[in-house]
Amino acid sequence: MQPTDDKAGGKAVAAVGAAESLDSPRLWRVIHGGEDVLLALALAGILMVPLVEMVLRTFFVSGLVGGNAMTQHFTLLVSMLGGAVAAREARLLTLSQGFAKLPVPWGWLCEVWRVGVAVSVSLLLAWASWRFLLFEKEGGKVIAYGVPVWVAQLALVVGFALVSLRLVRHIGPEWWLRGAAAAVAIGIVWYVLGYAAEPETWTPAVVLLGVLGISAVLGAPIFALLGGAAVFLFWGSWNPLESVALSHYSLSTNPTIPALPLFTLAGYFLAEGGTSHRMVRLLKALTGDLRAGPAIVTVLACAFFTSLTGASGVTILALGGLIVPFLTEARYAEKASIGLLTGAGSIGMLFAPCLPLILYAIVAQVEIQAMFLGGVGPGMALAAGVIAWATWTRPAAARSAPRWSFDRREAWSAFWDAKWELLIPLVSLGGIFSGLATPVEAAALTALYALIIEMVIYRDLSPRKLVGVMRECGLLIGGVLLILGVAQGLTNYLVDAQVPTLLVDFVTTHVSSPFVFLACLIVILLLLGCMMDVFSAIIIVVPLLVPLGVAYGIDPVHLGVLFLANLGLGFLTPPVGMNLFISSYRFNKPMGEVLKASLPYFALQLAIVILITYWPALSTTLPALFLGGRP
């Protein structure tokens, strides 16, 4: 998978839109700037409404009228507008770099195929959203204060339409290339909307699914692959395409989903500020002259950032320029330093409040608190393993080398400097576990707290940069929610077709041992981790996996933890793990060199993931202790 949506390092935000300003007419710059401001305002709405709700509920008993509905529909707006901005910047997630650089005319043909199919899917999703909107408009539902629901649902139609136009625009400046891609898209749309197939006649749908699969190989966006699969499967089974739009709307307005953009926003505020420097300085000071010091600093810093941003790629991009020089100064070779950072990038996925933990809990209907507690033991095991290996392989110091001694004064100074950021876990998790705040409200508090300390206390984040940071966050979360929404449509089709039931019957008939089932699951999840982003994998695979877990008597929290641990390891799986691509890009190193440097950490983490898979107590002890065994 290409790391196009993970380019969120602090330096990148300052350069937002620079190339576009040089090449685009003034009118387009104004329009794009308006989009950025609107996206930032929508994120601000997600942030402020839960906070106002908390204040009113605390001091006036009753909360904000329609507060939850407003938050959910702001999330819908962020989903579609962020996806449109991602398409504008050509940063939609893909499975392949594409084949545009092939010799003429093959490169052109690949691009026309890729873009034409992706645009046709986006247009069909826009049409389905329009039909869904008309149906909902008749119901007369209201969000709050007289604002009808269909007004917010317009974001679905406009968003998919904008994505279609921008996909065509980015195929190249030649008008005939754009025209050819548009012709392919219109032809597919006309065929789907005008073809009167007999029920149970699957041939046209199978052909279109094949065309879609080829377009994915050629570099079509992931949302087009998953959304197209949902559209063509519903169409082939003689079901209304509006079902896909309904699924997208239902997921985007799920009551717990706003926690995802809010925790991500908190991570972006911290990444743009000086948090990385302060945390690394503190960890360096606390480890003193320990031989394990550099490894501890690297692993804990990576875990901290990944747990907040939910994206290991963001961690590698944000910390790369700080951690690698620090490791080389500590006598690690540059190649070994890159390998350690790449290997440690995804460890934070198992620590609260990481987004995959929250999303898994929502989809699998498991308590969020249980998933947070369940990830602690396995996460610590992975962290300890990486620290131990990196310590053992650290080159010994020469006699003449200066000793890295512990300085109490420096440790206290670094601690005092980072004191506000050290309170973030208390802010984010205290409200959830105390029961004083819902997960969404706790996420809003965390984002507000991060904004205040970075803008007011440390003053690392200037008001001028704020819109740019929120735009980058909205772009990332919009691209992710765009994928999740259409993936939910595909999942709903699979459930309606009773695929989970059929899968349980097939697997339990042919695999009688839970031990063998878990071994097969490890292999499958490693492959999925290479090919899919963790969010869409959760939406599509978890509804199929949970019934299997029940059939084999696997604890739902243990199943979730081993699922995420295996997917996280997929980011390192050679030769196509996402973290390998990101490190190669970040450090401008050949893919083979990064792969070789990361291979020991892959092997080590594979052994620990197998331990996590076959030792349920590592995941279930803390939830049982603190929650009484509730799933």
Cβ–Cβ under 8 Å, residues 289 and 406:
yes
- Answer yes or no: do 166 and 243 share one domain: yes
What pLDDT sits at residue 504?
85
DSSP state of 221: B
What pLDDT sits at residue 24?
53
- Answer yes or no: do 336 and 485 share one domain: yes
* pLDDT class of 8 with cuts at 50, 70, 90: very low
Structure tokens at 338: 């890159």
Is the pLDDT at 400 greater than 50? The verdict is: no
262 assigned to some structural domain: no
261 assigned to some structural domain: no
Hey, which residues does 221 pair with through a beta bridge?
A: 94
pLDDT 10s digits, 404-432? 567 788 889 989 998 998 888 888 888 77
- Domain membership of residue 76 as a residue range: 7-252
- Answer yes or no: do 248 and 273 share one domain: no
The amino acid that residue 342 corresponds to is T
Nearest-angstrom CA–CA distance, 430 and 439: 10
Instruction: Locate all alpha helices (DSSP H) within 453-513, ordered by sequence.
Output: 463-496, 499-510
What pLDDT sits at residue 167?
93
Q: What are phi and psi of 94, to 5 degrees?
A: -130, 165
What pLDDT sits at residue 629?
52
What pLDDT sits at residue 115?
93
pLDDT 10s digits, 254-289? 888 898 889 888 888 887 877 878 888 888 888 877
- Answer yes or no: do 175 and 307 share one domain: no
- Answer yes or no: do 414 and 500 share one domain: yes
- The candidate with the shortest Cα–Cα distance to 121, out of 222, 197, 219, is 222
pLDDT 10s digits, 481-511? 888 889 889 888 888 888 888 888 888 888 8
- Answer yes or no: do 285 and 157 share one domain: no
Query: Percentage of residues in the chain with pLDDT exceeding 70?
Result: 90
What pLDDT sits at residue 5?
40
The amino acid that residue 437 corresponds to is A
- Answer yes or no: do 308 and 435 share one domain: yes
Among candidate residues 225, 252, 279, the one where a domain is terminated: 252
Structure tokens at 499: 């695929």
Summary mean pLDDT of the chain: 84
Nearest-angstrom CA–CA distance, 525 and 446: 32
- Answer yes or no: do 361 and 482 share one domain: yes
What pLDDT sits at residue 13?
39
471 assigned to some structural domain: no
Count of C-beta atoms within a 10 Å radius of residue 188: 22
- Answer yes or no: do 389 and 521 share one domain: yes
Structure tokens at 601: 């950490």
For range 27-39, the mean pLDDT:
88
- Answer yes or no: do 162 and 284 share one domain: no
* pLDDT class of 442 with cuts at 50, 70, 90: confident
Domain count, the chain: 2
Query: Percentage of residues in the chain with pLDDT exceeding 90?
Result: 32
* pLDDT class of 157 with cuts at 50, 70, 90: very high
Cβ–Cβ under 8 Å, residues 530 and 478:
no
DSSP state of 25: -
- Answer yes or no: do 206 and 320 share one domain: no
pLDDT 10s digits, 58-103? 787 777 778 889 999 999 999 999 999 999 988 887 776 667 677 7
